[in-house]
Amino acid sequence: MTDKSFAIEGMNCASCAAHVEKAAAKVEGISYASVNLANERLTVSYDEKRTSLSQVIDAVTRAGYKAIDDERERKASRPETHRLQIRLIWSIVFTLPLMILTMSAMAGVRLPSFISPDASPLTFAIIQMLLTAPVVVTGRSFYMAGTKTLLRGNPGMDTLVAMGTAAAFLYSIFATIRVAGGDNHYIHNLYYESAAAIITLITIGRYLEARSKSKAGSAIRQLLNLAPPLATVLRDGKVKTVPASKVTVGELVMVKPGERFPVDGIVTEGVTSADESMLTGESIPVEKSEGSEVTGASINLNGSVVCRATRVGSATTLAQIIRLVEEAQGSKAPIARLADKISGIFVPVVMALALLASTGWLIGTGDFRLAFTVLISVLIIACPCALGLATPVAVMVGTGRGARQGLLIKSGAALETARKATVTVLDKTGTLTTGKPVVTDIVPAPSSDTLRLLHLAASAEARSEHPVAKAVNDRAMNNGIEVTIPERFTALPGYGVEAYANGAHILAGSRRLMAERKVDTSWADEPADQLASQGKTILYLAANGSCKGLIAVADTLRQGSEEAVREMTRMGLEVVMITGDSEQTAKHIARLAGIGNVIADVLPGDKAEEIRKIRNRGNLVIMVGDGINDAPALATADVGIAIGSGTDVALEAADIVLIKNDLRDVVKTLKLSRATIRNIKQNLFWAFFYNILGIPVAMGALHLFGGPLLNPMIAAAAMSFSSLSVVWNALRIRNLKL
């Protein structure tokens, strides 16, 4: 079996995705067909001997959609966001004056006589028609899609939009003709503004959705940009610069300070330290010497090294992470909106009721005008303006409320899903912690003191760019210590630094450095071991051959993390910490944060697999992270939340971004999600409440017993009121206390 992915054009709701999926699955030789509405892609597994790609494309075309198997062709043929933006602009340009004109007349505002409905009814009607026609033409895709799905027996939201607006527009043209014939009573039976307003409002929702989808590939592009395009290799005894894609396994690669490693490999010559934070999320550089593994796209900080390539091209760690992000984004199940689910039943029922009622009245009375009035009234009162607004308006207000709180929610789907989460998985470095090493402990020798030891350490590290050195110098600066710039300074990659300052020979670095230089550290080894057991990095200080003390540096818990974990637990979520750091360090941080479940020593790229394991146990998972290695996990989780200080890739792969780098904002997001979805359900209730009351009346239930027949104008007013009630209810989210 062969797997193949197609870009699909023309899908607007969950029912569209289901139709495409069914059409593809019916093709002989297809064993699996799945549609992802979020990225508008169809994935199939097929037997090449029994079917061809053209058969799949034809099946999708017959279903009323377009399948494209070349992404470049898709991008060229479908600038969807730009196209919808143009449609929206034109719709607003004509709808606004139309609404001002009609609402002014309905409100009793005196209009100039040449456009007054009383003085110049025909002019009043024609102006409305001329303003509405461009909106209808601009929204012709509704009619095309709605007609196609109707003719294929799969009516959806587009069908109702098309029928409702077409009915309102055509009936208004009929009324305009009657006005032209001298029957001025029909000036009150114009529903042009209803048709224009519905098309414009639905287009707003489609535009916002398309704009969100257009960013789907940004995370992949960010990852691809990390890989250096060129590599310096040793071939035939000569140094050559070649494209990184041309490096072969086993080849020797030279990497200078400041350069990125072009491939995964093993150091064969030289000593350095590598910044792997972009891949691992860990802020402290990793020392590299002969035999150490290096990862492509990580940065060589301070020493020239020669590496033997072990993984190249698509086999590198970076390439595997890119593949994981792609797979995770493609495998996300589309979140079917409640309105789309209901419309699958609602649309055909409304159409059947409209036809049934109008046919019944036509047969019973022979009055075509009465039957047509009933048909129009049912379609107008049931037109899905409120139904279409129920979700997007609440989502717009909810996401706007979130934005003011520093919560950037990229889609309504993320907002909807977050409320159902059962597990929150938190990355450690940069998420639970600040991601920035700071001095946590200073242990001076009996013959020294804290300030003297700190001055000694800061002077030795004054010319170093190492993050530990920066932490020491920051602490010295905060303590008001004037640092002495060393006369001589030597960086010792993998060990520490050697410096001469104020006539003293200073060593600052690891226990291994002290041992090699014959410095006695016996008195400091016990406190060093205790601090190391807490996951802290230990810096020994020696002056003129004597150990003067040690300084511990560590990544500290981010402010508010403990409170956030406690609140998430109170809300019923299980909190899990995941990290590539050692189990010892991880458990120490977890204890401080109040987290009982820890997954440590996770290799880059494996976090996504851990997320899958948690999901496979029946949980709905929120993943919170900030590093590149978090990107696949963010995409794999049901909802990915990125800390705002994280990498661009993590921010792009996530569904929600926390601008203020505060984990307590995860709690705010959950509260906002629950409140917004509750509001959407209320909106749907009110939207259907008016339909349940209004449709029987529009069908002539009261008229059957001698009561009045619902005028289409009243039906339009009821429809407008249902839309207003939905908007008013959604606006309450603005005052939500988070």
Catalytic residues: 427
Query: What is the DSSP track for 536-580?
Result: PEEEEEEETTEEEEEEEEEEEEPTTHHHHHHHHHHTT-EEEEE-S
What sign results for the dihedral spanned by CA atoms 518, 519, 522, 526?
A: negative
Query: What is the separation of C-alpha 708 from the centre of its chain, rounded to a whole number of angstroms?
Result: 52
Look up residue 505 and give its amino acid: H
Contact 463, 489 (CB under 8 A): yes
- Whether residue 62 contacts residue 177, with contact meaning beta carbons closer than 8 Å, is answered with no
The encoded tokens of residue 334 equal 């589309």
* Cα–Cα dist 588/601, whole Å: 14
Are 22 and 79 in contact, with CB atoms under 8 Å apart? Answer: no
SS3 string of 326-349?
A: HHHHHHCCCCCCHHHHHHHHHHHH
3-state secondary structure of 26: coil
Distance of CA 714 to the CA centre of its chain: 42
Write the CA distances from 446 to 449, 457, 716, integer angstroms.
Answer: 8, 17, 88
Residue 526 C-beta-side C-alpha neighbours within 13 Å: 3
Q: How many CB atoms lie within 10 A of CB 232?
A: 17
Which among 171, 200, 233 is positioned nearest to 96, based on CA atoms?
200
3-state secondary structure of 612: helix
Quick check: 460 and 486 in contact, CB under 8 A?
A: yes
> CA 92, 98, 100, 103 torsion: positive or negative?
negative
Q: From CA 599, how far away is CA 123, in angstroms rounded? A: 73
**Separation CA 179–CA 184 (nearest Å):** 5
CB neighbour list of residue 471: distance below 8 Å, 6 or more residues apart: 436, 437, 438, 439, 553
Looking only at the bridges linking them, the beta strands covering 423-427 and 621-625 are parallel
DSSP 127-179: HHHHHHHHHHHHTHHHHHHHHHHHHTT---HHHHHHHHHHHHHHHHHHHHHHH
- How far apart CA 139 and CA 308 sit, in angstroms, is 60
Task: Answer whether 639's CB lies under 8 Å from 677's CB.
Answer: no
Q: How far is CA 682 from the centre of its chain?
A: 26
**Minimal CA–CA distance to 361: which of 702, 690, 718, 717?**
702
- Rounded (5°) CA angle 426-678-39: 60
Separation of alpha carbons 385 and 668, rounded Å: 31
Return d(Cα 397, Cα 290) in angstroms, integer. Answer: 57
Strands 30-36 and 41-46: antiparallel
Q: What's the DSSP call for residue 707?
A: -
Residue among 110, 665, 640 at smallest CA distance from 413: 640
Instruction: Compute how many other C-beta atoms are within 10 angstroms of the C-beta atom of residue 333.
Output: 11
The position carrying tokens 């394991």 is: 613
Rounded CA gap, 417 and 33, in Å? Answer: 24
- Rounded Cα gap, residues 713 and 263, in angstroms: 70
For residue 89, give the 3-state DSSP assignment. Answer: helix
